């Protein structure tokens, strides 16, 4: 009798083993996912394009790390190949490539699509807007993320926050800025809404890619330029092309980075892979912001120690004047575009309600 029992167990084990082997060899039926009948054995090979140059510190490292982490977490089931700007599609066509399904994912910042979706700028950064903490509080908890995705819905694109640049620097100037009148006629490379504000303040905003900045500033084609912060500015050698390094970056108090996903391809992912992507995006966001803070603080020390570099604050009355011109600029943009108005109102309402808390905490701690 004990032998019979042993035989039965052995037979059952053999059948189970055979069934497992057949499934592993792909001879069995596709494995069903309990949450929607999606094949969980399938390998999804995706492409991700970014708006950043190859080897661009932090911003291009982040999507590469994101893809690598997802490969490990999904046991190779979601395999994302990352392409820097220009490798597969030009940097400024990332949104279209994702929207049209030419690639599944993109990494960039929403203000690059201002020509197509002006309201997208609020999901990147706006002059005198919120820093990373406030922006992400609005996105994750204050309805911002829902608004962002409503905005991109007609384009078949899903957006997720994936990091933040931190407060940027005001830029490199070859003359001192002492009053708002010093901005009049100033030829400065400054894109987006910041450029519109400078224009309204009497300056001359110029659009120019990062690769052209050093030469343009050094030769005097432009009088000033903003770029990012100490880490990236030092890499471009901007300290050798201008003397005055102004702060703060009133025009970019913290550019939020975005992960773009083609909606149809997202819908084809099993629920567990979707969750892996969401959690990896959040983790990459934390890594990106902390990496920016770390490297910028070290690069600032290096820059401050250099001869011919003067790190200076914009005078308070210049900042106050720019803040007032910013309000006029945003109101005027909102009049032109109902979507811009709708997002602006949500952003502003949150910013106004967040400000008292910010004043009582971060700001109150700032004593010398």
Residues that bind Ca ion (CB under 5 A): 168, 252
Task: Check if the beta carbon of residue 236 is closer than 8 Å to that of residue 304.
Answer: no
Q: Which is nearer to Ca ion, 104 or 256 (CB)?
A: 256
Q: Which is nearer to Ca ion, 106 or 253 (CB)?
A: 253
- Other beta carbons within 10 angstroms of residue 191's beta carbon come to 18
Please report how close the Cβ of residue 190 comes to Ca ion at its closest, in angstroms: 8
Please report how close the Cβ of residue 75 comes to Ca ion at its closest, in angstroms: 38
Q: Which is nearer to Ca ion, 223 or 252 (CB)?
A: 252
Please report how close the Cβ of residue 195 comes to Ca ion at its closest, in angstroms: 11
Tell me how far apart the alpha carbons of residues 325 and 202 are, in angstroms, rounded to a whole number: 11
Please report how close the Cβ of residue 328 comes to Ca ion at its closest, in angstroms: 22
Q: Which is nearer to Ca ion, 74 or 168 (CB)?
A: 168
Task: Check if the beta carbon of residue 206 is closer than 8 Å to that of residue 182.
Answer: no
Please report how close the Cβ of residue 173 comes to Ca ion at its closest, in angstroms: 15
Please report how close the Cβ of residue 171 comes to Ca ion at its closest, in angstroms: 8
* CA distance to 80, 166, 278, 316, per residue, from 319 (Å): 43, 19, 38, 5
Q: Which is nearer to Ca ion, 134 or 192 (CB)?
A: 192
Please report how close the Cβ of residue 193 comes to Ca ion at its closest, in angstroms: 12
Q: Which is nearer to Ca ion, 97 or 213 (CB)?
A: 213
**With helix as H, strand as E and coil as C, how does the chain read?**
CHHHHHHHHHHHHHHHHHHHHHHHCCCCCCCCCCCCCCCCCCCEEEEEEECCCCCCCCCCHHHHHHHHHHHHHCCCCEEEEEECCCCCCCHHHHHHHHHCCCCCEEEECHHHHCCCCHHHHHHCCCCCCCCHHHHHHHHHHCCHHHHHHHHHHHHCEEEEEEEECCCCCCEEECCCCCCHHHHCCCEEECCHHHHHHHHHCCCEEECCCHHHHHHHHHHCCCCEECCCCHHHHHHHCHHHCCCEEEECCCCCCCCEEEEEEEHHHHHCCCHHHHHHHHHHHHHHHHHHHHHHHHHHHHHHHHHHCCCCCEEEECCHHHHHHHHHHHHHHHHHHHHHCHHHHHHHHHHHHHHHHHHHHHHHHHHHHCCC
Instruction: Give which of 292, 294, 303, 307 is closest to 228, Cα–Cα.
Output: 292
Please report how close the Cβ of residue 303 comes to Ca ion at its closest, in angstroms: 16
Please report how close the Cβ of residue 266 comes to Ca ion at its closest, in angstroms: 29
Q: Which is nearer to Ca ion, 142 or 166 (CB)?
A: 166
Q: Which is nearer to Ca ion, 130 or 157 (CB)?
A: 130
Q: Which is nearer to Ca ion, 168 or 239 (CB)?
A: 168
Cα-to-chain-centroid distance, residue 129: 15
Q: Which is nearer to Ca ion, 77 or 232 (CB)?
A: 232
Please report how close the Cβ of residue 169 comes to Ca ion at its closest, in angstroms: 8
């Amino acid at each position: 009798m004990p032998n019979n029992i042993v035989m039965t167990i052995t037979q059952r084990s053999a059948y189970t083993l055979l069934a497992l082997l057949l499934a592993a060899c792909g001879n069995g039926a596709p494995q069903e996912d309990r949450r929607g009948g999606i094949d969980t054995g399938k390998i999804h090979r995706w492409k991700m394009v970014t708006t950043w140059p190859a080897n661009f510190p932090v911003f291009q490292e982040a999507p590469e790390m994101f893809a690598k982490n997802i490969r490990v977490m999904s046991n190779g089931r979601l395999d994302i190949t990352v392409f820097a700007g220009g490798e597969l599609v030009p940097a400024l066509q990332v949104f279209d490539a994702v929207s049209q399904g030419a690639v599944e994912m993109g990494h960039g910042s929403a203000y690059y699509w201002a020509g197509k979706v002006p309201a997208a700028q609020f999901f990147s950064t706006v002059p005198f807007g919120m820093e990373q903490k406030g922006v992400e509080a609005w996105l994750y908890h204050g309805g911002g993320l829902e608004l962002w995705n409503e905005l991109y819905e007609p384009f078949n694109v899903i957006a997720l926050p994936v990091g933040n640049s931190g407060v940027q620097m005001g830029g490199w100037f070859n003359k001192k800025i002492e009053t708002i009148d010093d901005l009049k006629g100033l030829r400065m490379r400054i894109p987006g809404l910041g450029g519109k504000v400078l224009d309204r303040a009497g300056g001359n905003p110029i659009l120019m890619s990062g690769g052209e900045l050093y030469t343009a500033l050094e030769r005097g084609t432009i009088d000033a330029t903003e770029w990012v912060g100490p880490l990236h500015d030092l890499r471009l050698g901007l300290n050798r092309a201008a003397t005055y390094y102004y702060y703060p970056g009133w025009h970019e108090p913290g550019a939020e980075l975005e992960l773009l996903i083609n909606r149809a391809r997202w819908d084809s992912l099993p629920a567990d892979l979707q969750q892996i992507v969401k959690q990896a995006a959040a983790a990459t966001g934390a890594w990106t912001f902390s990496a920016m803070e770390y490297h910028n603080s070290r690069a600032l020390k290096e820059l401050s120690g250099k001869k011919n570099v003067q790190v200076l604050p914009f005078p308070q009355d210049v900042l106050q004047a720019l803040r007032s011109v910013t309000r006029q600029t945003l109101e005027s943009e909102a009049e032109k575009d109902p979507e811009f108005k709708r997002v602006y109102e949500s952003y502003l309402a949150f910013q106004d309600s967040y400000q008292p808390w910010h004043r009582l905490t971060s700001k109150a701690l700032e004593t010398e």
